[in-house]
Amino acid sequence: MEPWTEKRIKEACGVFGIYHPHGEEVASSIYYGLASLQHRGQESCGIAVCDTTGPKGNMNVYKGMGLVHEVFKEDTLRNLKGNLGIGHVRYSTTGAATPENAQPLVLNYIKGTLALAHNGNLVNTEELRSELAKTGAIFQTTTDSEIIAYQIARERVHTKTVEDAIKHAASKLKGAYGLVIASPRKLIGVRDPLGLKPLCLGKRESSYIIASESCALTAIGAEFLRDILPGEIVTISKDGIHSNLDLQQTRQAHCIFEYIYFARLDSILDGVSVYESRKKAGAALAKAFPVEADLVTGVPDSGITAAQGYAKASSLPFELVFHKNSYMGRTFIKPTQKEREQSVQLKLSVIEQTVHGKHIVLVDDSIVRGTTMAKLIRLLKKAGAKSVHVRISSPPFLYPCYYGTDVPSNKQLLAASHSLAEIQTLIGADSLAYLRVEDLSYIADGLPLCTACFNNHYPIAVS
């Protein structure tokens, strides 16, 4: 997902947790893990750590608005002392982008201290919030993550272990969640029963790690052990690893967004390579919607891999036709309409000698409102392209997502109110085709998928 676009589908969040049983400081490892998950959220981030040999209320937390490298400086990390910790990068899906909504959330309650980081979204938030409010709960944030933390704290009063409290609390949750939780002596990972949100387990020497994606393990030199199973609660302590599968269900529904464009290219989720998925999406497009052309290219960076797959399957050359200016700051100010119109051209410029006189296949992962695609097509034709045939490596977005992905309401989705021919005319393409819904299983190696944003088949009922 690219910051230079006017409107893209945005990621939810990324979570990371690590436990070193022999007292090694973990804050810097969390920092690098979060940096590798930065693509999943750019609004805020935070780290919470504790020393498992110290007093049970010694959780130390630091959070802020901005990117990981902006929020955490060397002296900040040096002061975050502890051998167990969790971290979070956030893009707001429930709750505003404000400092109080930054995670991890830390609760001090009758049984001690609990820190929680959450990726996903609940669909019964209001019901749970109302129940808690009636029993006197006072909320410090507007996130559903706080609801989860409160539910665990309430259950913990009546259970022997924090794992039992988490299991009882999770049985009340409806929606998508990948959780990392730090109690004073344990690191715990929880994945929703349908597997909507990814979560994996890794190891580096004697440390164990839980993360949203395997790329975070690679970033700190850890070995990927396995994916945490849908409905699994994994507890890591000085006694080793314990798995609880009481929340498991017979059905699963993995989020197709991860494979189309959320996850980082080098990640492997539930045994499926993200890189290979995107190449297969391009190949499926080429097979279903071939076109006579001189070359294939992709919109940087979101469409490049699918474009390579399209090119190989169609025996057409792949070329880079855009130069991306990597030095445009993310806070670049566009105060006037004219300057806003120029923003795409400032981020991307066309390599004219590559496109002049050519028929081009242009691949990207999505069209939301269509304004950016229209600008790119105009740039290509201004540089002398004879025709531009657009291929999109996802089906058209027709319905909103309720599980932690920022798919806008139907009114903002171009495909929900326009036919294929109308969209083609609006963006100025010579032809337009989307990946077929029936090809989604192929690109995810047959995994059971959630495809509700494309076909209105929601795996969890939404009121």
Q: Would you name the residues annotated as active-site residues?
A: 13
Is residue 94 a contact partner of residue 147, using CB atoms and an 8 Å limit?
A: no
Cα(70)–Cα(377) distance, rounded to whole angstroms?
35
Q: What are phi and psi of 176, to 5 degrees?
A: -115, 135
Which residue type does 144 have?
A: D
| Those residues with Cβ within 8 angstroms of residue 112's Cβ, 6 or more apart along the chain or in another chain | 56, 57, 183, 184
**Both tokens assigned to 271:** 């045994």
Cα(456)–Cα(40) distance, rounded to whole angstroms?
24
Whole-angstrom CA distances from 431 to 275, 279, 350, 398, 414 are 26, 21, 20, 20, 17
Count of alpha carbons within 13 Å of 100, Cβ hemisphere only? 9
DSSP at 386: S
Cα(45)–Cα(68) distance, rounded to whole angstroms?
6
Cα(106)–Cα(40) distance, rounded to whole angstroms?
21
Is residue 167 a contact partner of residue 242, using CB atoms and an 8 Å limit?
A: no
